[in-house]
Amino acid sequence: MSEIIEAAVYRLDELPDEAKEKARAWYREGALGHDWYERVHKDFECICTILGIRLDTRAVRLYGGGTRGKPCIWFSGFWSQGDGACYEGRYSHAKAAPRKIREHAPKDEELYRIADALQAIQRRNFYQLHAVVTHRGRGHHELSMAISVERDSPVSQEMTSDAEDAVIEALRDLACWLYRQLEREYEYLTSDTVVDEAILANEYTFTENGHRFG
C-alpha cells in the first residue's frame, strides 16, 4: 500500500551555511560536462594558428557512428604535482604573429612574450626554423612534449646555437599558458558564485541538511 510522506524542502538560499556547502558539493560533482573546456580549447586553436602551429588531429567517434578530427590537446588537473597540458603539431614561422596576437588577446603579456621570442629567433635564422611536437610518456604536461627543431635552409646553413633551446622553451611555455587558462576556467565554473546561480536558476531543492531532494 502506498504512503504519502511529507518533507520540508528548501532552496539553496534558505539553507544554513553548512548545508549550503553540501548542496554545492552535490552540484559540483556532476555539474561540469565532458566538454566544459571547449571554449578554452577553441581559443587555443586560434592562438596556435596565429603563432604558426598546425595542431595534429585524431579521429573521435560521433554519436551517429561517424568520426571527426579533434585537435591533439591533452591536460590533467588540477591537484597533483604532475598535472599540466600538452599538444602535438608542427610549427613554422607565421608572418606578423606578434601584431596579430596582440589584436587577439589585448591584455595577455605572456602570449606577447612567447610570440616575440619566436619572432626573434626566427629573424636570426632568416625565418627558416620549423619544429615537430609529439607527445611522449603517460603524463600530460609541457615536459611530456618531445620537440625537434630544424632549419630549412636552401644552402644547408646551420641554425644558430640558441635556436633549438629558444623554440623548445617558447612552445613549452605555450603549453604552460594553456594549462593556466584551463585551471582558471575550472575554478570559475566551480566557484560559489557560479554554482549558486546555477542551482537557483534550475530551482533545485534540498533537505535541511543539504541533500538533494527528488
The pTM score is 0.89
What is the percentage of the chain residues whose pLDDT exceeds 90?
Answer: 78
Domain ranges of the chain: 1-32+194-214, 35-189
DSSP string, 161-205: TTHHHHHHHHHHHHHHHHHHHHHHHHHHHTSHHHHHHHHHHTT--
Lowest mean pLDDT among 6-20, 101-115, 174-188: 6-20
b/e map 6-19, b = 16+ CB within 10 Å: eeeebebeebeeeb
pLDDT per residue over 136-190, tens digit each? Answer: 988 899 999 999 999 999 999 999 999 999 999 999 999 999 999 999 999 999 9
Pair type for strands 89-92 and 129-135:
antiparallel
pLDDT tens sequence across 58-103: 877 777 777 778 999 999 988 888 899 999 999 999 999 999 999 9
